[in-house]
Amino acid sequence: MISKRFIFLALLLANIAAFASPSDSVMFRVEIGDKYGFVKANGEILIEPQFDYAGQFSVNGLAKVEINGKYGYIDKTGKIVIEPQFELALDFHSENGLAPVTINGKWGFIDKTGKIVVEPQFIDCFYSQGVYNFLRKSVDDDQTGFLEDSTGKLTIVPYVIMTFFGDGLAAVSTKKGYGYIDLTGEIAIKPNSKYQFISCHYEGLAAVMQKNKWGKWGFIDKKGKVVVRPIYDHVYRFSNGKTTVVKNDKCGVINTKGEMIIKPQFDMIDKFAANGLAIVKINDKYGYIDTTGTIVFEPKFNKATAFSENNFACVKTDNKWGIIDNTGKWVMEPQFEGPYPPEIVGNYIIVANYTKKGTYRSDGVIDLTTGKYTIEATCGYKISPAFIDESEEDL
């Protein structure tokens, strides 16, 4: 039975939609009370809040939902495509890929029609870069499995897999030490005992710490050759040919050849966005630099977020969040309170509405091109993106 509160909100959002662009195709996931559904950015209800839980839509157009304690999948019209029958379910990640589900406490895999492709048998399951990893049948199992999402191929290896697959390689632990396997399950980098810690590869390089260089990190390539000597106190994964390194408590940037392109001088450097700008921190203030290390926007903000693909970033000053573009111009002056920044989704932001005492109350949506609310912050919804964003996967 639909509540009077829901009918009121439906009418409210319908009125909002009447003044918004009918061509708007951006979707948001919403939660009202204890039910989930989906709306357009202009407030039009697409799928009424009716599910006990709803995930985000994947590239194949399906989203997991929970009904009466069981999980299944719906399409973008709200139609149930795979009947709720699983104890747990994870997202699909590719058009013709698989999704992990549990039956009797064990993970198996289904295709987008709901057909079981790999029988439930594993106690763990994690996804990264097109591979479901760390598949074990018991806690003391010395064999580990992985499954390629694009092919559905399941491989079991006689090693304990230590990292996610990156660039087609994953680190494994053997009696001879750490090494790497490829997607066929074969050894790609021979195990040896000289590494204390290792990571997965990104852009052809993996961070490693040698035993005789305790606390110092460097990088090896896909053949195991040392490309960056272990001289750094901390390192991060490579992205767009660059990574942040830490030395003597200061952050700099190196390229994939190990060349220093920004000398260690900042308290923090985030990874570079698509527009070539990265957050830096100096004396507890945040600003932005370009790929040469030149300060583009002076560190004057209390908090800051990375630039989105549409060149918007959230910054906090005087205890309020605002939005700037990649020229530093205010798109929205600081006005949003709360501990967390507005969430940027394309040309929209999701903003939280708080009481004067700081208690969370409701979310709203603002169109950054007009500065106007398309869904009022008094709507009673908790709002989140409707589609899976894997851009920050495996940091």
Please give the Cα distance from 98 to 251 (Å, whole number).
Answer: 40
Average pLDDT over residues 185-191: 97
pLDDT of residue 5: 40
Spatial contact of 157 and 145, defined as CB atoms under 8 Å apart: yes
pLDDT of 15 above 60: no
pLDDT mean across residues, the chain = 92
DSSP 146-175: EEETTT--EEEESSEE-S--BTTBEEEEET
CA dihedral 126, 129, 130, 133 (to 10 degrees): -30
**Over pLDDT 70: what percentage of the chain?**
93
DSSP 106-119: EEEEE-TTS-EEEE
Which distant-in-sequence residues (6+ apart) come within 8 Å of 327 by Cβ? none
Cα separations in angstroms, 108 against 115, 150, 160, 173, 370: 11, 16, 20, 25, 47
Q: How confident is the model at residue 190 (pLDDT cuts 50, 70, 90)?
A: very high
Average pLDDT over residues 50-59: 97
pLDDT of residue 389: 82
pLDDT in tens, 111-128: 999 999 999 999 999 999
pLDDT of residue 24: 54
DSSP 280-310: EEETTEEEEE-TTS-EEEEEEESEE----TT
Q: Which residues pair with 323 in a beta bridge?
A: 314, 332
Please give the Cα distance from 65 to 57 (Å, whole number).
Answer: 10
pLDDT of 3 above 80: no
Helix (H) or strand (E) holding 38: strand 35-40
Spatial contact of 89 and 69, defined as CB atoms under 8 Å apart: no
Which distant-in-sequence residues (6+ apart) come within 8 Å of 141 by Cβ? none
Helix (H/G/I), strand (E/B), else coil: 213: helix
pLDDT in tens, 17-37: 333 343 357 999 999 999 999
pLDDT of 7 above 60: no
Cα separations in angstroms, 334 against 148, 246, 303, 316: 45, 32, 12, 7
CA diameter of the chain: 68
Spatial contact of 201 and 188, defined as CB atoms under 8 Å apart: no
pLDDT in tens, 79-97: 999 999 999 999 999 999 9
Average pLDDT over residues 257-264: 97
Q: How confident is the model at residue 13 (pLDDT cuts 50, 70, 90)?
A: very low
**C-alpha 137 chain-centroid distance:** 27
**C-alpha 194 chain-centroid distance:** 33
Tell the residue number behind the tokens 């994939």, with chain if given.
256
pLDDT of residue 391: 57
One-letter amino acid at 45 equals I
pLDDT in tens, 142-184: 899 999 999 999 999 999 999 999 999 999 999 999 999 999 9
Helix (H) or strand (E) holding 263: strand 260-266
Spatial contact of 51 and 35, defined as CB atoms under 8 Å apart: yes
Sheet of 320-325, strands arranged across: 303-304, 312-317, 320-325, 330-336
